């Protein structure tokens, strides 16, 4: 499997049971089992209307705990090996990802190192999709199944992506997006860094939230609605050789609302290229097959830094992440190209779309266009 779409059933009175069954279906899909043939006792996701497509990740890339279930919550921990694990003797980096669902905070994702420590985007498990705790700050759903419109999943050797959409009208649905993608293996860099500290894994994560506007067919600035975007490696080696944690202050306007597209000097946040703020358009070609929709490889930029010589020693610009690299099997394509789960093709290769966040403006909350990303439907083993 590389792609699954999940639609919820009506909830039962056993709320935690619903959450457990949903996570159990996601677990099966990641591990390469057709979840639509499972039995979920009338709770959780609707197997009859679900989608399971593509080829499974290589056995052993993922290991997943059985979902824990309580009266009002459920969660599970996914351990993902970097795709290049074992390509060099002794090189075995892993990352842990926790998915949790509960009635108070909705869905949320946390990324940890291989010791279940150094989490991002927040240390507190009881917080919203991007770490906020306000009543509607970046909360994706509540009350489990009855507050979810759909869930989309990509799982392959290099990339895990999850998109959760709440219920509501086209102008009120909330969207939460998460991607963790392995950076292209660079032995001269990564073997040394892993030798410094085995919590290092060259995988970068993206978190995004757009409240109310992603499904609106009429371009509409979200303005006061919440919209956040952040990128980071939760553990990285800085340019002095020191292991550090990502600096991800999503809650502030300077960090969370500007797509990590800073015009100020001496910042140390990460970003991606193409910038999430910029437009990506189709390319005109002659004949009846146009326009062409480009597949633009996503590049990770460890420190989105501008700096002049006089400010080299400024503390706010020091100790950033010097790592750059291609995020494997992860592409930006034409804005507004389609909706979550749509298929585009290049030759015989099928790609699935996720419309991930708004773009086209420096201020994330005032952007109008749906930035679309594409992932191969079939697994790409290495």
- Taking only the tens of pLDDT, the chain with its 382 residues reads 589 999 987 666 666 778 888 899 999 999 999 999 876 655 688 888 899 999 999 999 999 999 998 777 889 999 999 999 999 999 999 999 999 988 888 898 999 999 999 998 887 777 788 877 666 678 888 766 678 889 999 999 999 999 999 988 888 889 999 999 999 999 999 999 999 999 999 999 999 988 888 887 776 655 556 778 888 999 999 988 999 988 665 444 444 445 656 666 777 788 899 999 899 999 998 777 789 999 999 999 998 877 777 777 666 667 889 999 999 999 999 999 999 999 999 999 999 999 999 888 877 777 889 999 999 999 998 8
161: tokens are 């992506």
Residue 145 in any domain: the answer is yes
Alpha helices in 14-93 (DSSP H): 15-30
Q: State which H helix or E strand residue 352 sits in.
A: strand 349-359
Alpha helices in the chain (DSSP H): 15-30, 187-196, 253-256
Residue 25 in any domain: the answer is yes
Residue 360 in any domain: the answer is yes
Rounded distance between C-alpha atoms, residue 95 and residue 80, angstroms: 5
Residue 381 in any domain: the answer is no
| CA angle centred on 56, ends 22 and 155, rounded to 5° | 55
Rounded distance between C-alpha atoms, residue 214 and residue 191, angstroms: 41
Total number of domains in the chain: 1
Query: How far, CA to CA in Å, does 63 sit from each of 165, 198, 285?
Result: 26, 19, 45
99: tokens are 């998915």
Contact 18, 12 (CB under 8 A): yes
Of 225, 203, 335, 210, the residue nearest 270 (C-alpha): 203
Residue 382 in any domain: the answer is no
Q: Which domain holds residue 25?
A: 3-376
Rounded distance between C-alpha atoms, residue 39 and residue 37, angstroms: 7
Contact 79, 43 (CB under 8 A): no
């Amino acid at each position: 499997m590389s792609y699954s779409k999940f639609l919820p059933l009506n909830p039962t009175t056993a709320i935690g049971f619903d959450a457990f069954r949903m996570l159990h279906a996601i677990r099966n899909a990641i591990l390469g089992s057709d979840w639509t043939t499972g039995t979920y006792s009338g709770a959780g996701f609707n197997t009859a209307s679900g989608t399971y497509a593509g080829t499974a990740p290589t056995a052993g890339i993922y290991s997943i705990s059985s979902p824990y279930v309580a009266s009002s919550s459920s969660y599970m921990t996914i351990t993902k090996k970097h795709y290049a694990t074992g390509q060099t003797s002794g090189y075995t980096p892993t990352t842990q990802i926790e998915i949790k669902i509960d009635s108070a905070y909705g869905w949320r994702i946390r990324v940890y190192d291989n010791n279940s420590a150094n989490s991002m985007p927040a240390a507190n498990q009881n917080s919203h999709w991007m770490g906020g705790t306000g009543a509607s700050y970046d909360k994706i759903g509540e009350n489990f199944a009855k507050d979810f419109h759909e869930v989309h999943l990509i799982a392959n050797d290099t990339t895990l992506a999850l998109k959760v959409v709440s219920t509501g009208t086209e102008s009120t649905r909330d969207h939460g997006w998460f991607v963790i993608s392995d950076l292209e293996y660079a032995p001269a860099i990564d073997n040394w860094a892993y030798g410094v500290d085995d919590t290092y894994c060259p995988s970068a994560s993206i978190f995004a939230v757009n409240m109310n506007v992603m499904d609106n067919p009429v371009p509409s600035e979200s303005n006061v609605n919440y919209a956040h975007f952040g990128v980071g490696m939760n553990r990285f080696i800085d340019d002095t050789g020191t292991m550090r944690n990502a600096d991800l202050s999503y809650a502030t306007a300077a960090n969370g609302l500007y797509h990590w597209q800073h015009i100020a000097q001496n910042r140390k946040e990460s970003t991606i290229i193409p910038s999430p703020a910029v437009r990506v358009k189709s390319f005109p070609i002659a004949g009846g097959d146009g326009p062409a929709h480009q597949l633009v490889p996503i590049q990770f930029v460890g420190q989105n830094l501008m700096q002049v010589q006089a400010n080299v020693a400024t503390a706010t610009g020091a100790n950033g992440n010097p790592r750059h690299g291609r995020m494997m099997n992860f592409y930006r394509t034409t804005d507004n190209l389609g909706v979550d789960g749509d298929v585009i093709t290049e030759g015989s290769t099928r790609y699935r779309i996720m419309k991930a966040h708004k773009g086209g403006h420096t201020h994330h909350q005032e952007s109008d266009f749906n930035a679309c990303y594409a992932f191969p439907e079939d697994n790409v083993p290495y």
